[in-house]
């Protein structure tokens, strides 16, 4: 290191460090924006794709699920990619592929070209959905990690809201090519950003590039924390060497975080969030908002609540802690869903019901946004030991997308066969199960370094002692 950089390093004011780290995290979170936009945009585009390609109901299902299926598959090898080639390079390549996928879908002349474009986007989403939070968690200082990683969830919700707005803006002209193609814009910005952002210190040290890691740490921490953090990461890596590749997953100390990560992944989806995110207009129409316009407006309202409550979560997550938010959020989801279901069962035909429907669904989405939404993605970036982090996050992400696909495929059928009251009551019951799962198993990770968290697993500490 040069004397000049020494001087600069010792003197970087903390405000400047804070600003830099926020820019790094916000840029990486564009991955979340793409995730939200590309999963949200299809509901509106579908109306016109039907006409343009003469899609049967079955083919509509294929076009809609193409992204989810691609994401499920890609999450399987994304972890390996991130461990092997580094988080930054993977993010850069993904950003370029996002642009290609968006343009392919936008110019598609046949259904197969369209599906190919959507599958490509799905593959990218599957990987970005966890490499972005992983990247941020590894660059962030412990005391701001919760908020910084959750920027990614905020970006997801903004992406969903923007997709609703874009869909309704192009609805009159039916310009579906624009709806799908606009996803290329954040893709380009992300690619530009990843060209200049640094690799994460943890991954660099794993590659024996300590000098490079030190440079990154000096830009993202105050100088007095750097040596300590490097030592911690190294100690962590020593532990990793004692573990044996994939067999590491079977060691008891790893089993607990894996159960939590995969369990929360499944719970995040089977409590029904995407039935609302993907099908809100349909739900609102059946609840009494007759015109398409009214139900689209109601849907935009849901999207807005999702964004606003995620901002609330971001503000308090590093103080209130993960557990408190998760438990409050999941309890609130259960109650709101039960109210929605009871409203349907007892007053579905009454004129006032639609207001109960909209209020309870908004409350449900709001509670998701302060709990399971951000906290699932945050916890899976925190709880896994470094040696298996990439692959373990991959496993949790596969479960998340796989169950997302499952719920998307079964929801409409469930609605038809069991009716709305029973369907939403099932999601309410699953939220109750989710609450007990979180209460019994999920530890508090706020303010701890990733290395401390790892040591807690190895020591086998009970949740209460965290
Ligand atoms: C979930 C997505 C969901 C989104 C809604 C994310 O945390 O993983 O499936 O669509 O939140 O905000």
306 pocket-lining for ligand 1 (C-beta < 6 Å): yes
> Domains, the chain, ranges and CATH?
14-197+243-461 (1.20.1250.20)
153 pocket-lining for ligand 1 (C-beta < 6 Å): yes
pLDDT digits (tens, 9 = 90+) for 435-449: 999 999 999 999 888
* Mean pLDDT within 410-424: 90
* Mean pLDDT within 320-330: 96
pLDDT digits (tens, 9 = 90+) for 230-262: 998 888 777 666 555 667 777 777 889 999 999
Closest CA to 190 of 276, 94, 296, 118: 94
295 pocket-lining for ligand 1 (C-beta < 6 Å): no
Q: What is the pLDDT of residue 62?
A: 86
CA distance 32 to 125: 8
Confidence of residue 48 (pLDDT cuts 50, 70, 90): confident
Checking phi first, is residue 408 left (phi over 0); if not, alpha (psi -120 to 50) or beta? alpha
Residue 260's CB: how many other CB atoms inside 10 A? 22
Choose the weakest-confidence range: 107-121, 123-137, 233-247, 418-432.
233-247
68 pocket-lining for ligand 1 (C-beta < 6 Å): no
- Name the residue of 159, 272, 274, 366 whose CB sits within 8 Å of the most ligand 1 atoms, as the mutation to test its pocket: 274
- Name the residue of 308, 312, 373 whose CB sits within 8 Å of the most ligand 1 atoms, as the mutation to test its pocket: 373
Angle formed at CA 451 by CA 446 and CA 453, multiple of 5 degrees: 45
* Mean pLDDT within 60-82: 88
**Which residue is associated with the tokens 């530009």?**
192
Beta strands, E only, 237-381: none
pLDDT digits (tens, 9 = 90+) for 326-370: 999 999 999 999 999 999 888 877 778 889 999 999 999 999 999
Ligand 1 midpoint to CA 355 (Å): 24
Nearest Cα residue to atom 7 of ligand 1: 373
Residue 8 has pLDDT above 60, yes or no: no
Q: What is the pLDDT of residue 13?
A: 67
State which ligand 1 atom lies nearest to the alpha carbon of 373.
7
Burial of 194 by CB count in 10 Å (0-12 exposed, 13-18 middle, 19+ buried)?
Answer: buried
CA distance 262 to 379: 11
Q: What is the pLDDT of residue 223?
A: 85
Residue 454 has pLDDT above 60, yes or no: yes
Q: What is the pLDDT of residue 2?
A: 39
Q: What is the pLDDT of residue 4?
A: 38
State which ligand 1 atom lies nearest to the alpha carbon of 369.
12
Q: What is the pLDDT of residue 239?
A: 67
Between residues 416 and 15, the one the model is more confident about: 416
* Mean pLDDT within 173-189: 94
- Name the residue of 129, 265, 273 whose CB sits within 8 Å of the most ligand 1 atoms, as the mutation to test its pocket: 273
């Amino acid at each position: 290191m040069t004397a000049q950089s020494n001087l600069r390093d010792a003197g970087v004011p903390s405000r400047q460090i804070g600003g830099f780290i926020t820019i790094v995290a916000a840029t990486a979170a564009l991955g979340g924006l793409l995730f939200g936009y590309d999963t949200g945009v299809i509901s509106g585009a579908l109306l016109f794709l039907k006409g343009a390609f003469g899609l049967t109901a079955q083919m509509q299902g294929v076009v809609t699920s193409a992204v989810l299926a691609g994401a499920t598959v890609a999450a399987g090898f994304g972890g390996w990619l991130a461990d092997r080639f580094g988080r930054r390079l993977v993010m850069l390549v993904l950003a370029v592929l996002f642009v290609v996928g968006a343009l392919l879908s936008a110019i598609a002349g046949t259904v197969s070209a369209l599906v190919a474009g959507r599958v490509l986007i799905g593959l990218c989403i599957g990987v970005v959905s966890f490499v972005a939070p992983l990247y941020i968690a590894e660059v962030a200082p412990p005391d701001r990690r919760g908020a910084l990683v959750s920027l990614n969830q905020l970006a997801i919700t903004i992406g969903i809201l923007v997709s609703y707005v874009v869909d309704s803006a192009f609805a009159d002209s039916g310009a579906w090519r624009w709806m799908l193609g606009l996803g290329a814009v954040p893709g380009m910005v992300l690619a530009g950003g990843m060209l200049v952002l640094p690799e994460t210190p943890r991954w660099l040290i794993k590659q024996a590039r300590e000098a490079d890691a030190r440079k990154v740490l000096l830009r993202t921490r105050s100088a007095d924390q750097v040596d300590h953090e490097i030592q911690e990461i190294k100690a962590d890596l020593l532990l990793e060497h004692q573990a044996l590749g994939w067999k590491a997953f079977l060691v008891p100390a790893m089993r607990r975080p894996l159960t939590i990560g995969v369990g929360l992944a499944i719970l995040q989806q089977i409590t029904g969030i995407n039935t609302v995110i993907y099908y809100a207009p349909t739900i609102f129409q059946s609840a009494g908002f007759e015109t398409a316009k009214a139900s689209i407006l109601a849907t935009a309202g849901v999207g807005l609540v999702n964004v606003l409550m995620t901002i609330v979560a971001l503000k308090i997550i590093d103080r209130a802690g993960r557990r408190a938010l998760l438990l409050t959020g999941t309890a609130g989801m259960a109650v709101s869903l039960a109210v929605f279901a009871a409203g349907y069962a007892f007053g579905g035909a009454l004129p006032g019901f639609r207001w109960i429907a909209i209020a309870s669904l908004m409350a449900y989405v709001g509670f998701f946004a302060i709990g399971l939404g951000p906290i699932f993605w945050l916890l899976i970036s925190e709880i896994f030991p470094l040696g298996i982090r990439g692959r373990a996050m991959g496993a949790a992400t596969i479960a998340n997308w796989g169950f997302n696909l499952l719920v998307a495929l079964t929801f409409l059928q469930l609605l038809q066969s069991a009716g709305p009251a029973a369907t939403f009551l099932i999601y309410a019951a699953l939220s109750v199960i989710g609450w007990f799962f979180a209460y019994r198993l999920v530890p508090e990770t706020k303010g701890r370094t990733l290395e401390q968290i790892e040591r807690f697993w190895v020591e086998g500490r009970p949740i209460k002692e965290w």
